[in-house]
Structure 1
């Protein structure tokens, strides 16, 4: 088999990666500090070098082709590796100091961040990490946090966002609770049971109705804005709760009380100010979070 040697400029690869992640040439050009014609030429140059079409160009948007989608993850890996090489080559990870604030829900902070922070400590032991564990959305533009993990894509074009691996929310209840009240086999059965709700249970009614359950506020004997508190209430047999699948499944005393319930899709986005392009300590933390939490395929 004859192998074709590929020659392309890393700047072209960065142009493609930024365009794919930002969704448009104009947004990608702003992110990289380039003019739009320059960025467009770099993307076209990469397509010519590879002999493929990466984007379908329509009047309204750029859409990744099947080939572009397949290559995107490879270029993302190259970009993250390039950042790590840059940091290591300059000795920045060893000597990196300063403060980085990460805003996320208390569930994310409790169940996922500790393991990530262990890896971060090994890479940059002198960094000072502040964890803002709150369901309130921190304002990155006002520097209330450097990095945020959110469940919706930000609309502010001044922010850089990378979509993480999605997860799903499922019904969970303790086996003790279900032994006492019976395991429902029909929506009418589950509609008679107690639920552990979010901070404002009335906001859940429409969502639950769209998934086939006609609940009322009276079903929610307990409510809390804290995922960790909701988990403990469910574990103690105080009702049924909706928990991320990888959280609820970690506790053997919990089970799905109604397998016919359609899981709730939960998006996750890693968000930072565009300054992360030039701020090595924020970029290091951002890339590690993206690597550990996974990006959407």
Structure 2
């Protein structure tokens, strides 16, 4: 099916087009609403409005998700190109800004956003009161190319050629539990002693088992009776004595109400990267915040 219309006669609304684009990529209105940080009914009205303006049906409902119609598939190619172009224009404009004023968005996981960024941002605000900071809290990698954030703190090196990254250092993921839960386990001394322990999983796919078993723990799915995709919820469960959790040692060691489980166990190490779009480095404001974060995080 080919979309036949006079595009010059269409009053095109980019907000509606973006709603369509994200819905198509996420596969459902609920997921798209979360990705865009807006209410699902509002998003649905924007998609419906685009369909009415264009005079075509873009989605068909399949179960709880949505699938593109032939017209939707054809339109998606054009809207993706528009989104990429809009992103390049926005990046280029921001890159030309030389004022140390304006808003900077920083993306980080829940734990880093809650535990590491607040004192750093407080110090930045003292030194640069003209810079306003938006902290984007997400346990997934924010899309910097689409301007979901200006700067991101990640645990992996980006592969996109338009992104630049600085390795801040390595972090150790350590097993923690409440003192009461460690006592309940009989103060384990070896990995084998944890064979009957409960753990909190933060990975619905079960991806925590393999790396932990590489340390000799010998765990199965039965060892993970608790599941949450929120690191903050996981950490609260650990502090309440519900199970064992794993967290960055910089954060875990600073908590007074937990202790390391098997302190001599080899940690799981992972890198910390500071990432930004290449064009943003021409912005004095972005460069200032990027360099500030780099120095503070290295501490």
TM-score, normalising length from structure 2?
0.64
**Alignment match, 1:118:** 122
* Cα distance in 1, alignment partners of residues 281 and 192 from structure 2: 53
Alignment counterpart, residue 231 of structure 2, candidates 224, 227, 230: 227
User: Secondary structure of 2:129's match?
Assistant: coil
Deviation of the 1:201 alpha carbon: 5.9
Deviation of the 1:277 alpha carbon: 2.3
Deviation of the 1:252 alpha carbon: 2.7
**Alignment match, 1:258:** 262
**Alignment match, 2:171:** 167
Matches within 5 A, 1:242-253: 242-253=246-257
**Alignment match, 1:154:** 158
Q: Which moved more, 1:161-170 or 1:217-226?
A: 217-226
Alignment counterpart, residue 192 of structure 2, candidates 181, 185, 188: 188
Matches within 5 A, 1:34-49: none
Deviation of the 1:193 alpha carbon: 0.6
In the alignment of these two chains, the number of paired residues is 202
Q: After the TM superposition, list the runs of 4 or more consecutive aligned residues in structure 1 that deviate by more than 6 angstroms.
A: none
* Cα distance in 1, alignment partners of residues 261 and 120 from structure 2: 32
User: Secondary structure of 2:125's match?
Assistant: helix
Alignment counterpart, residue 268 of structure 1, candidates 242, 267, 272: 272
TM-score, normalising length from structure 1?
0.65
Contact 2:192-2:216 at 8 Å conserved across structures: no
User: Secondary structure of 1:131's match?
Assistant: strand
Structure 1 vs Structure 2 CA RMSD: 1.6
* Cα distance in 1, alignment partners of residues 205 and 180 from structure 2: 24
* Cα distance in 2, alignment partners of residues 251 and 138 from structure 1: 28
Contact 1:201-1:217 at 8 Å conserved across structures: no
Structure 1, unaligned runs of 5 or more: 1-91
User: Secondary structure of 1:141's match?
Assistant: helix
Deviation of the 1:233 alpha carbon: 0.8
User: Secondary structure of 2:189's match?
Assistant: coil
**Alignment match, 2:28:** none
Q: Which moved more, 1:271-280 or 1:148-157?
A: 271-280
Structure 2, unaligned runs of 5 or more: 1-97
* Cα distance in 2, alignment partners of residues 246 and 108 from structure 1: 10
Contact 1:187-1:212 at 8 Å conserved across structures: yes
* Cα distance in 2, alignment partners of residues 167 and 189 from structure 1: 25
Q: Which moved more, 1:178-187 or 1:166-175?
A: 178-187
Q: Deviations over 1:162-199 (max 9, x none)?
A: 00121101111111112223111232320101111213
**Alignment match, 2:283:** 279
* Cα distance in 2, alignment partners of residues 109 and 253 from structure 1: 20
Matches within 5 A, 1:1-297: 96-200=100-204, 202-294=206-298
